[in-house]
Amino acid sequence: MTRLLSSGAILALSATAAAADFDLTILHTNDFHARFEPISRFDSGCSEEDNTAGECFGGSARLVTGVEAARQRAGNKPVLLVDGGDQFQGTLFYTYYKGALAAEMMNKLGYDGMTVGNHEFDDGPEVLREFVGALDFPILMSNADVSGEPLLADVIRKSVVVEKGGEKIGLIGLTPQDTDELASPGPNVIFTDPSQAVQGEVDKLTEMGVNKIVVLSHSGYRVDQRVAENTTGVDVIVGGHSNTLLSNTAEDAVGPYPTVVNGVQIVQAYAYGKYLGELNVTFDDGGNVTAASGDLVLMDASVSEDEATKARIGEAAAPLDEIRNRVVAEAADAIGGDREVCRAMECSMGSLIADAMLARVKDQGIDVAIQNGGGIRASIDAGEVTMGEVLTVLPFQNTLSTFRVSG
């Protein structure tokens, strides 16, 4: 039997259907690496003079303004602010403060969750534990068994449920499976397959009635795509680790924003706070993504710096200034340390570092010096070179070792 509905009834049904949709704005960062102050186009430190001239990017003060502006753009839509890992390491700020300043700034910004990056283990479980204890939000890692590490067993969770706009959203963390080779997690943390770990947490969350699931992944763009292919129930992957620029507008973007694999929306925001990711997602009543759009927002001079945050960072920088402002060299030309080049082929910064190593041990008769591309963290522009720039390029305080090889 055909039922006839009045126009009022039709409007009521349409309103009910519309109400079933859930709109969420996801703001995200990754691989911040202690860049609390603005950076140059080379991803290294930027002088106050250049910052005033509008030639710098990022920094915590600009990020505070950028996040607030994004929250305003969202209007009445709920906002989720998350991080893809590697807040640690990269500047003198980390060397001096370890994770304390990162925790302070992340709490100020109002993050809802973060995954553990490999660099969060650079100083072992002890420093990570202190960092987690200072956070106002959960830090996650699904593909690691921390039950044997007493410092982390009760503070690192595999997943968590947060509520936004009356809806439950599941967050799952991922860390590189080879973190035990990249950092210093110690013998008690066991890393496992990312896809299996994610699926296990998805199944648990689904049983709890959660049908909107976001993975915070510090595993890299390629692994994120594999996880999307090999799992079911994931809606969004917020990435990190590979410092991948996903954008619909940036000329040097590696892929679109979002990249869609097996129905999963994958995003990543390069690194160092240069961009803020802003993804708008619509879910239907069953938790399925029906629409997704957005892009990276460049944190350039058009984004003003929050004065209170700038003053706080200036205060934190004061003990570091004597060291990092000391001029140690003069560069006739820019010295390239771009990660995409140095991790794939010879680069000028890598050659300079290797030559410096040979010069340091020339009295030992050493023939070859080797610098891993991943240990080169920034470029240096032409002109005066400060100790701060040197420590930004080489932040890890590694020991130079020599040995003889026969054969």
Domain CATH code at residue 109: 3.60.21.10
Residue 45 pLDDT: 85
Are both 136 and 280 inside the same structural domain? yes
* Claim: this prediction has a pTM higher than 0.75: yes
Q: What is the pLDDT of residue 5?
A: 40
CB 325 within 8 A of CB 391: no
> Residue 1 falls within a domain, yes or no?
no
* Number of domains within the chain: 2
Which among 74, 148, 83 has a CA at the least distance from the CA of 111? Answer: 83
- Say if residue 258 is preceded by a cis peptide, omega within 30 of 0: yes
Task: Tell whether 394 and 293 lie within a shared domain.
Answer: no
Q: What is the C-alpha separation between 243 and 173, in angstroms, rounded?
A: 17
Which of 282, 298, 314 lies at the terminal end of a domain, its last residue? 298
Q: Give the tokens for residue 396.
A: 């890890």
The residue ranges of DSSP E strands in 219-315, in sequence order, are 236-238, 259-261, 264-267, 275-283, 289-298
C-alpha span between 335 and 349 (Å, rounded): 6
Q: Are 386 and 325 in contact (CB under 8 A)?
A: yes
**Percent helix, percent strand, percent coil in the chain, to nearest 5:** 35, 20, 45
Cβ of 128: how many Cβ atoms within 10 Å? 28
290 occurs within a structural domain: yes
| One domain for residues 268 and 352 | no
Which strand (E) or helix (H) includes residue 311? helix 307-317
Q: What is the pLDDT of residue 365?
A: 84
> Does residue 317 sit within a domain?
no
258 and 372 co-located in one domain = no
Does a structural domain hold residue 15?
A: no
Pair (399, 252) in one structural domain? no
Query: In terms of domains, do 149 and 30 share one?
Result: yes
Decide the pairing of beta strands 327-331 and 275-283: unpaired
Q: 281, 298, 315: which is the final residue of a domain? A: 298
The answer to whether residue 50 sits within a structural domain is: yes
**What is the pLDDT, as a whole number, of residue 13?**
42
Q: Does any domain span residue 260? A: yes
Burial 244-254 (b: 16+ CB within 10 A, else e): bbbbeeeeebb
Q: Which among 242, 277, 298 is the end of a domain? A: 298
> Residue 46: inside a domain, yes or no?
yes
DSSP H helix total and E strand total for the chain: 14, 16
What is the token pair recorded at 189?
Answer: 């943390």
Contact (Cβ atoms closer than 8 angstroms) between residue 82 and residue 216: yes
Return the closest-CA partner of residue 116 out of 167, 147, 149, 155.
Answer: 155
What pLDDT score was predicted for residue 366?
87
Domain that holds residue 372: 327-406
Q: Which residue is it, tokens 């680790």?
A: 241
Say which residues have a Cβ less than 8 Å from residue 64's Cβ, sequence separation at least 6: 108, 109, 306, 309
The reported pLDDT for the residue numbered 135 is 99
Inter-residue contact 236 to 265 (CB < 8 Å): yes
Are 238 and 349 contained in the same domain?
no
Residues 283 and 203 placed together within one structural domain of the fold: yes
Q: What would you measure as the largest C-alpha separation in the chain, in angstroms?
A: 97
For position 14, what pLDDT does the model report?
46
Q: Which pLDDT does position 19 carry in this prediction?
A: 55
Same domain? 107 vs 210? yes
Environment class of residue 154 by beta-carbon count within 10 Å: exposed (0-12), middle (13-18) or buried (19+)? exposed
CATH number of the domain where residue 399 is located: 3.90.780.10
In 288-407 the beta strands, taken as DSSP E runs, fall at 289-298, 327-331, 383-386
The answer to whether residues 350 and 241 belong to one domain is: no
Residues 80 and 221 in one domain: yes
Q: How far apart are CA 219 and CA 222, in angstroms?
A: 8
Residues of the chain short of pLDDT 70, as ranges, are: 1-19, 397, 399
Do 282 and 382 share a domain, yes or no?
A: no
How is residue 170 annotated by DSSP?
A: E
In a domain? residue 102: yes
DSSP state string for 272-283: TTSEEEEEEEEE
Burial of 164 (0-12, 13-18, 19+ CB in 10 A): middle
